[in-house]
Amino acid sequence: MHAGITTTLADSRTYEGPQSVHICHRKFSDSLETYGHEPIQLVFTDNPRGDKAELERLIPSLRKEVILVPNNSSLPKFETPDDWSLIKLSTAYQVTTRLKSILDDVAGLPLSL
């Protein structure tokens, strides 16, 4: 079986509400299992603590090998090097385009280091 990365972006603030997005996640997860693909391993959300219980209920694979981030991290604040540039992505198109670029860049990398 070919290993790959699938990216789906969905705005949880749709007029139908976040439940419609959660239903899509569940159906997507079921389809992956039905057709013999690996389960969902990663979900991005703007409200991780608020969405956690519902996403884990709908997508049980998200409960595997979880490393929790503490509320008050003891890590130093991340500072970007001077030679980096920061770009604020403010539209779905910008985010999708940037993610596609990243996925294209990693597509040629070996699956294990």
Per-domain residue ranges of the chain: 18-67+84-107
Q: How many CB atoms lie within 10 A of CB 40?
A: 20
pLDDT in tens, 32-90: 889 988 888 877 777 777 888 888 888 888 888 877 767 776 778 888 899 998 888 88
Residue 4 confidence (pLDDT) above 50: no
pTM attached to this predicted model: 0.45
Residue length, the chain?
Answer: 113
Strands (E), 25-112: none
* pLDDT classification of 11: cutoffs 50, 70, 90: low
Residue 83 has a pLDDT of 93
Provide the Cα torsion 28, 49, 67, 6; round to 10°: 20
